[in-house]
A and B are shown apart, each in its own frame.
Chain A
């Protein structure tokens, strides 16, 4: 996010519109009243049948109102406000109201940032209105101070993720109508249930090791940044280089991720997680956005061969650029750790990092090399998603012993977390190595071909 984001005209305009919206004003008045009444009722139910000494010396009364307040705040922050923002954006995008903003100096990234910022401020206000209840719950004992602070933080981050995902849907012309579809709302409900699980990771519990929290925080930040850039890319006016904000974001994440190494082993895991997430998103993007090198980028290409070589990943991004660079880095890591290649942890990391993304890289690279059309990419993406759904179904069947173990264990790619066991570790490592080799060759060919077309027009 840029430092001048606070001066974002879109954020200012959105806030001005929100201030005039009766729905928001009435909601903001009713929300703390509802929160207070429900929390007070919860406490009164808890107090029933307890003596004064039980209340003073027994377990605290704060837990119940704390979680009740968290659920109500969660509904507002993770569902109501993101949906409101997404409906509004979807309506603007469908009615092409944003055209006038594209003839100004605003970029699509500015527009999305403004919408994110305005809704984030509204979320913070909602959380701020809940804070007295959270604080009161802490004073009534039953929840720790850490929980009192982590819960609002978790809710805010979850709300931001929900907002990003919904804005992503809202900005996509093909998907936006689905926002008003009941099926979409069901999917959104399922997604929210995952978010609730994610919130629990932020709450102090023996189930949440510290490195996992670090990973979650880095992952959430990466997701927000990438969703913002992707939304901007989808909204982009035709004259603009639509993928520029996305490439910039990817590059920032890519360049910053090694810094996590400075934190030791724990941060190393976070870095591996971040790069794996980044690589997956880059590959998916490559599959969904098979754009050629934009005219503007080609016009601004440096004259020298070396200059072009350096700027090429910045210009074309995706498979031929960043992913290729990422693979080179991974090779270097492997080479540096070659002595420890038998180390189980290294093998696990390698398989976990590479196995999930390799299929996407291979498929998208082959499509690119075959000059596949948009339809080809979409069909392939659909088939990949179908395969993913099939394997997840198989995993569920396996859990209930309804699927052959042998058949299940040899499932490749994307399924590391499902099929990985101590017995299948070697199989997964070998599979990842083979896929890695195939992808490297394909990427090299793709990179050279794409670079060949990246030249200054005469």
Chain B
């Protein structure tokens, strides 16, 4: 299955353009990190994908079929997990999932199987008779994910799923996302915790003021390499490091240094060889190439829309 977002534009009152000619595509099995500063247009894009908003122009195609012209197709194919938690506190987890299963027109055995399956997948089996009121935030996030998966969608859209979760719950969520991707689902996930996204995502889309900035980690021209040199203080090492060809800048970081070199393995190898040639014995050599956080900081300007 291929999802194509083509020239999506959405404006709100007073001409505020939340999404501006946004285009990208992804396929089954891919986990796309959808990153941007607050107000960049992530949630608006996800709401359009979930058919909760209509774009001013542009289209979203699933295997070539427009979801704007066939919203039923979107409802069948997409599982949407918004950033807020389930708030129908007076029904049990089982009843909640049963309701959404029925809402997706599942009936009888098919419905029971679907509910049990998502409860098992999200680890909710032992909580299924508890009311939503009695659940912790992490468990409610699981319920939210289970609801998005109850009709076995091919595309899962997750808006800030890790928001407010404790470290253990985040790790568990990450494992669930990985398991979903292994099951062949396409996943579009937004989060502010970039280090976590980096571990889950196969690629990323960065947007700012509604416009796409970059989708490929390799697009950044330069990256940092963290170094710690044997028997050489960082202050003394800094001028010698700046002499190495390819190093554009260097700075002290903790008890080591950080040098900026062109992106790519070749540049890292050149740096390693230069250190050996200059008899600078490195006890730590850690390229930060591909850091989503680094890329994010590099391409965004911090402008709020």
Contact = CB atoms under 8 A, between A and B. Distances in A.
Contacts of B102: 7, 9, 12
B213 interface: no
Given A13-B91, A17-B91, A20-B90, A105 B52 contact: no
B52 A237 contact: yes
B53 A104 contact: no
Contact of A295 (B68, B87, B99): B68
Contacts of A17: 88, 90-91
B147 interface: yes
B50 A103 contact: yes
B103 A104 contact: yes
B70 to A, nearest CB: 9
B71 interface: yes
Contact of A105 (B50, B105, B147): B105
A44 interface: no
Interface residues of A, number: 26
Given A12-B102, A17-B88, A21-B90, A102 B95 contact: no
Contact of B100 (A21, A97, A104, A296): A104
A102 B105 CA distance: 13
B69 A295 contact: yes
B75 A99 contact: no
A204 interface: no
A100 interface: yes
Nearest to B79: A103
A105 B103 contact: yes
Nearest to A110: B103
Chain A: interface secondary structure? helix
B69 A16 contact: no
Interface string A345-382: 00000000000000000000000000000000000000
Contacts, number: 68
A50 interface: no
A240 interface: yes
A93 to B, nearest CB: 14
Interface residues of B, number: 30
B285 interface: no
B72 interface: yes
B95 A13 contact: yes
Interface string A1-40: 0000001011011001100110000000000000000000
Contacts of A71: none
Given A20-B91, A103-B75, A13 B52 contact: no
Contacts of A103: 50-52, 74-75, 78, 80
Given A102-B51, A240-B71, A16 B91 contact: yes
Interface in B46-76: 50-54, 68-69, 71-72, 74-76
A106 B87 contact: no
B58 to A, nearest CB: 14
B75 A100 contact: no
B91 to A, nearest CB: 6
A239 B75 CA distance: 11
B33 interface: no
Interface string B93-122: 001000110111101000000000000000
A242 B182 CA distance: 39
B287 interface: no
B128 to A, nearest CB: 14
Interface string B191-203: 0000000000000
Interface of B: 50-54, 68-69, 71-72, 74-76, 78, 80, 82, 87-88, 90-91, 95, 99-100, 102-105, 107, 131, 147, 151
Interface of A: 7, 9-10, 12-13, 16-17, 20-21, 95, 97, 99-106, 237-240, 295-296, 299
The 5 closest A-B pairs by CB, nearest first: A9-B102, A104-B103, A239-B51, A13-B99, A238-B54
Given A12-B102, A102-B51, 15 more contacts: A9-B99, A9-B103, A10-B99, A10-B103, A13-B99, A16-B95, A17-B91, A20-B91, A20-B131, A97-B87, A99-B82, A104-B75, A104-B100, A104-B151, A237-B52
